[in-house]
């Protein structure tokens, strides 16, 4: 399946994911893409290896308390934290997303935003936001630009815009310079994960007025 993915994460995002410096919403995007894309997963693991080498060769080390080993063995004797129950499988949502939705695609709590488009905002920490978007087959998102950085990944169906066509697993990276009007393929309803570190701005008047109410 990964052979079909054409639009990948950037090196900068993969390295930041490995270093642990991304906001939660972006971590969710990266983890979801890696679940579908072996190429980026291998790349991310090589950045983890870089982190491991750095840990191994850090110039300074800090001594632990004298009883640290005993304290740790006591922690171990206390038993492992129970594993979180795995979410039931779903053909549309990879595991990291199922954890945030609390189930599969049928459990998403959609809110209509007009023209048949629906969204569901996912609970992530401040600094960036994540949401799922539902675009009916053949429908268009309003023509819009972006204030910060926005990543959109297709989970079901496909969409096309001025740049290219994007299908399951493909990520479109948009910044201030991109104004686009994505249109969903006619063959299926399109579901996407979108994360952004700034609010979306729409070009036509009505969506702009509605924007604060939609939290997008």
Partner 1 sequence: MFAEVEPVETCGAAEAAQQVMRKRKTTVRKGNAAVNREDDGCKPQGEWVAHVLRIRSAQDKTAFAELFRHFAPRVKAFLIKSGSTPSQAEECTQEVMATLWHKAHLFDPSRASVATWVYTIARNRRIDLLRKERRPEPEELTWGPEAEPDQADIVSLQQETAHLREALKALPEAQRELIEKAYFGDLSHREIAAQTGLPLGTIKSRIRLALDRLRHAMK
3-state DSSP of 66-116: CCHHHHHHHHHHCCCCCCCCCCCCCCCCCHHHHHHHCCCHHHCCCEEEECC
CA pair distance 170, 179, nearest whole angstrom:
19
* Maximum alpha-carbon separation in the chain: 66
Nearer to partner 1, 65 or 205 (CB): 65
Please list every residue from 84 through 143 that binds partner 1, using CB under 8 A: 94-96, 99-100, 124-125, 127-128
Long-range interactions of 78-86: CB distance < 8 A, separation 24+: none
Tallying the residues shown for the chain, one arrives at: 216
Q: Does 9 bind partner 1 (CB under 8 A)?
A: yes
CB of 38 to partner 1, least distance (A): 8
Q: Does 152 bind partner 1 (CB under 8 A)?
A: no
CB of 86 to partner 1, least distance (A): 9
- Looking at 62, 66, 205, 213, which residue binds partner 1 (CB under 8 A)? 62
Q: What share of the chain is helix, strand, coil (3-state, %, to 5)?
A: 35, 25, 40
Nearer to partner 1, 10 or 203 (CB): 10
Q: Distances from the Cα of 130 to the Cαs of 71, 150, 188, 193, in angstroms?
A: 39, 10, 23, 7
- Looking at 1, 3, 4, 42, which residue binds partner 1 (CB under 8 A)? 42
Nearer to partner 1, 23 or 157 (CB): 23
Nearer to partner 1, 35 or 160 (CB): 35
- Residue span binding partner 1 (CB under 8 A) among the ranges 70-78, 112-120, 134-142, 200-208: 70-78
Size of interface with partner 1, in residues (CB under 8 A):
75
- Are 103 and 109 in contact by the 8 Å Cβ rule? The answer is no
Nearer to partner 1, 102 or 114 (CB): 102
Q: Does 65 bind partner 1 (CB under 8 A)?
A: yes
Please list every residue from 158 through 177 that binds partner 1, using CB under 8 A: 173, 175-176
CA pair distance 192, 131, nearest whole angstrom:
8
CA pair distance 28, 122, nearest whole angstrom:
10
């Amino acid at each position: 399946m990964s052979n079909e993915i054409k639009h990948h994460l950037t090196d900068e995002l993969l390295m930041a994911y490995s270093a642990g410096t991304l906001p939660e919403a972006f971590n969710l995007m990266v983890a979801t893409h890696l679940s579908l894309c072996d190429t980026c997963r291998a790349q991310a693991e090589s950045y983890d290896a870089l982190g491991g080498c750095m840990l191994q060769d850090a110039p300074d080390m800090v001594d632990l308390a004298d009883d640290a080993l005993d304290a740790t063995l006591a922690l171990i004797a206390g038993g492992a934290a129970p594993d979180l129950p795995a979410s039931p499988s779903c053909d549309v949502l990879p595991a990291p997303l199922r954890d945030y939705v609390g189930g599969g695609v049928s459990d998403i709590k959609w809110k209509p935003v007009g023209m048949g488009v629906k969204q569901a905002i996912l609970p992530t920490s401040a600094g960036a936001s994540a949401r799922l978007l539902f675009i009916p087959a053949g429908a268009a998102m309003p023509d819009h630009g972006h204030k910060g950085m926005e990543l959109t990944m297709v989970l079901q169906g496909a969409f096309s815009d001025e740049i290219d066509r994007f299908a399951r697993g493909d990520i479109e990276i948009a910044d201030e310079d991109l104004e686009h009007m994505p249109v969903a393929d006619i063959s299926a309803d399109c579901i996407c994960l979108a994360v952004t570190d700034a609010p979306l701005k729409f070009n036509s008047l009505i969506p702009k007025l509605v924007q604060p109410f939609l939290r997008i």
